[in-house]
Amino acid sequence: MRKALSKFLAAQWLNVLESVDEALLVMGPTGAIEFMNEEAAALTEHSAALAIGRPAAEILSRNPWLIELIGTARAAPRRAVHRSGSLLHRTGTHTPVQASGTPLREDDGTPVGTLLTLRNLSHQQELEARTRQSDRLSELETLVAGLAHEIRNPLSGMRGAAQLLTTEPSPSQRATECTQIMVEEIDRLDGLMSQLLELSGRPRSTRSPINVHQLIDRVISIEEARAPATAFVRNYDPSLPPVLGDPDRLTQVLINLLRNAVEASPEGVPVIISTRMETTYRVEGENLAARFLSIEVEDQGAGFADEDTERIFAPFFTTKSQGTGLGLAISRRIANEHGGALRARQRPRGGASFLITLPVLVGVNHGA
């Protein structure tokens, strides 16, 4: 009987079994291990050389449920017996596995042994956990968007009512001041709500070819009007091709970055805006090359702490008394939606630098 099993295993399948992702263990009629592949050696923490010939009950002693499964499978008719459980290791850690025991029989029904397969489920469980997490995130986003929408609706009514109060005949100075504060606070709340909607909303897709220099020039004139004391230095590469994007959303990114730079800059110290072409990336297997251009906004302010390099992009992270901490989070989201990225770094000579990269997609055959 053992001979029959050896013959069975010695055939061409041995190599195939060795390379299978699942752990495979074959037991002879007495319950001794006759074959185990590399994955089985890894999962059971026994080398095949030492395990072969020894009883499965000894090799799997930490996991009596598997020994029991082998027993059940051996007595079963042709069909496999399945169980999921966790495999206990020498160190006390566990691996979730799907175990199957199958009786091996000759064509005439003579039993020759048992096959035990173990499928490692840790990757699958990790993937499922990640999917659950992203489902929860999108639920949260929907909730935030709904809430922001609901809060925004009554705000316009409240603003109108507050303004009406100021039209009352001869209001006291105190009443005028209070209604002014109400209007300002309502406006602040409204601004916060529209930023929240921006952060949690679905990406919009109105794309058109954009000359980034025209866009930057427009944002610079808006900021010059707001902060006349700040100078803006343009460091443009005039040969840049247009990008395909949403001009309103990209304007919003530039306003956020320039405004932050102005706020961080000591008075009279200029903010520098540079543009250039980045490396070309070929898209594997496709007739496409992704080319990126970049826009860098640099200031010579105090910069940020090293450990905050990523944290500043988190929603609600702010070090300003009147800040919302949403500007950079929204800007990064918009850059990502355009297939680009937004990164921050400290300038070697002090100050902060924010780099937006945006793709210009062209067919390789068409060059350009």
Name the minimum Å distance from CB 63 to ligand ADP.
51
**φ and ψ of 192, to 5 deg:** -65, -40
C-beta of 34 vs 299, nearer to ligand ADP: 299
Footprint on this chain of ligand ADP (rule: CB under 6 A): 256, 260-261, 264, 299, 301, 303-304, 312, 317-320, 323-329, 352
Beta pairing, strands 271-283 & 243-245: unpaired
H helical segments located in the chain: 2-10, 13-19, 38-44, 48-51, 56-59, 64-75, 122-166, 173-200, 212-226, 247-264, 327-337
Could you tell me the smallest distance in angstroms from the CB atom of residue 328 to ligand ADP?
3
Distance of CA 296 to the CA centre of its chain: 24
Amino acid 11 reads: A
Residue nearer to ligand ADP on the CB measure, 223 or 299: 299
Distance CA 352, CA 22 (A): 51
CA 63 to chain centre: 37
- Tokens of residue 287, six digits: 């007739």
**223 with 262: CB under 8 angstroms?**
yes
Between 162 and 352, CB nearer to ligand ADP:
352
| Residue number with CB closer to ligand ADP (96 or 201) | 201
Q: How far is the CB of 263 from ligand ADP (least distance, A)?
A: 7
Supply the minimum distance, in Å, between the C-beta of residue 327 and ligand ADP: 3
Residues in the chain: 368
Give all strands of the β-sheet with 111-120 in edge-to-edge order.
Answer: 33-36, 23-27, 111-120, 94-105, 81-88
Which CB, 66 or 330, lies closer to ligand ADP?
330
Q: How far is the CB of 325 from ligand ADP (least distance, A)?
A: 5
3-state secondary structure of 258: helix
Task: State the minimum distance, in angstroms, from the CB of residue 268 to ligand ADP.
Answer: 16
> 96 - beta bridge partners?
86
The minimum distance between CB 258 and ligand ADP, in angstroms, equals 9
Is the CB of 96 or the CB of 315 nearer to ligand ADP?
315
Question: Closest by alpha carbon to 350, among 312, 299, 296, 274?
Answer: 299
Helices 327-337 and 173-200 pack at an angle, to 10 degrees, of 30
Nearer residue to ligand ADP within complex by CB, 46 or 333: 333
Minimal distance in Å, beta carbon 335 to ligand ADP?
Answer: 13
- CB 323, min distance to ligand ADP, A: 3
Q: Which of 130, 139, 105, 140 is nearest to 8 (CA)?
A: 105
Between 38 and 337, name the residue whose CB sits nearer to ligand ADP: 337
| Beta carbon nearer to ligand ADP, 95 or 274 | 274
Q: What's the order of all strands across the beta sheet hosting 271-283?
A: 232-235, 271-283, 288-298, 352-363, 341-346
Instruction: Return all residues near 168 (Cβ < 8 A) that are at least 6 apart.
Output: 175
